Amino acid sequence: MTTTPTSSWTPERIEALLALPLPELMWQAQQTHRAHFDPTAVQLSSLLSIKTGGCPEDCGYCPQSAHHDVGVKADKLMDADLVLANAQAAKDAGASRFCMGAAWREPKDRDIDKVAAIVEGVKAMGLETCMTLGMLNARQAQRLADAGLDYYNHNLDTSPEFYGSIITTRTYQERLDTLHVVREAGMHVCCGGIVGMGESRRDRAGLLAQLAGLDPYPESVPINSLVRVAGTPLEDAPDLDPFEFVRTVAAARITMPKAWVRLSAGRKELGDGIQALCFLAGANSIFYGDTLLVTGNADVDADRALFVRLGLRATGQQAAPTAMAPAPHRVIPMQTAH
C-alpha cells in the first residue's frame, strides 16, 4: 500500500466538492453509491472496548488518555471468555462484524498473542473481525493476519496540517506506517477520521484526500462526529453544522466509491433526520449497539425502528435480528480513533 496520496483527489478538488450546493453534492454521491452498492443495505458493526483507559497518547478528543482527568479507570485486557460472550450477543442482535478496541499506544508481543486467540474465537462464530490496538510493527501485523483478523482500524483523524493541534505524542507518518504494515500483512484497512474538532472545511478535504490517496484506499471508512467529553481539551469545541457532516459523508462516498462508509461516534447526537440524509449521501455502515468504547451510541431498538421507517435492511442477515442478549460489557464515551 502506498502511504502518500496518489489519486487525483487533491484537497483543492475535494474542497470544491464540499462547496457544491447540497442537492448537487447529494446527487453525485447517490449516483456513485448506486453504481457499487444496494442503496437500501447497511452493514452493522458492533464495537467493544477490550482494554479501557490509561493510554499514554494525548489525543485531545479521547477520554481514555491518561493525560486527561475524566474519571475513566485504566483496566487490564478483558478476559477472553467475556469478549466472546459480547461477540455472541452482538451477533444475536444482528451485527455482522465485531470490532474490538484497546487503549494502547502500541501493543506488546505478549498482548498480540492474547488478542490473536480472541480473534480466532470470534471468527469461529462466523463474524467478521476488526481490531484497533494502536501502532503495529510488521511482525505483529502478520501475527494478527495469521489469526484471521479481517480489518485493522487505525484512523488518521484529520488533515496533516491540523493534526498537531489535536495530538502531539504520535506523528502522522507513524499512523501511515501502521497502515502500511497492515496492508502488507494482507488485512483490510479501516481508516477514517473525526469531524467537529474545530477544523476547517479545508482540513476535512485534506483528510479525505489522504484517505482517497492511499493505494488502495481503505475498504472501511468510519466518519466520527466529535463527542465532547468534559475533562478533555476538546470539551468546548464549537458546534459543527450537521449539514457539514452530511457533506463529509457524501464526499467520502464520491472519492472512495467502493468503501464501506460508516457512521461512527456521535451518531446518537445527529438525530434521525441527519442520519437519513447521511444514508442518502452514501453511508452504508453503522456502529450498532447501545454503547461504543466509552461513549453512548444510538439505542438498538431506535435503530431498528429507523431502518423500518427508511426502508433499509441490514446486510448479511439471514433472518430478523433477535433482542440484544444481556452479556456484560463495558464501554466509554469515545471516538473510534487510534
Residues annotated as catalytic (active site), given as ranges:
55, 59, 62, 99, 130, 190, 262
Using CA atoms, how far residue 88 sits from 121, 229, 246, 326, in Å, is 10, 30, 32, 10
- Other C-beta atoms lying within 10 Å of the C-beta of residue 115: 24
Locus of grid cell 476547517 = 200
Q: How far apart (Å, rounded) are the C-alpha atoms in residues 279 and 265?
A: 16
Locate all alpha helices (DSSP H) within 19-56, ordered by sequence.
Answer: 22-36
Q: How far apart (Å, rounded) are the C-alpha atoms in residues 115 and 99?
A: 12
- Residue 47 carries which side chain, given as an amino acid letter? L
Joined together, the cell numbers standing for residue 295 give 461513549
Answer for the pair 231, 71: CB distance below 8 angstroms, yes or no. Answer: yes
Residue among 278, 149, 273, 252 nearest 193 (CA): 252
Q: How far apart (Å, rounded) are the C-alpha atoms in residues 212 and 203?
A: 14
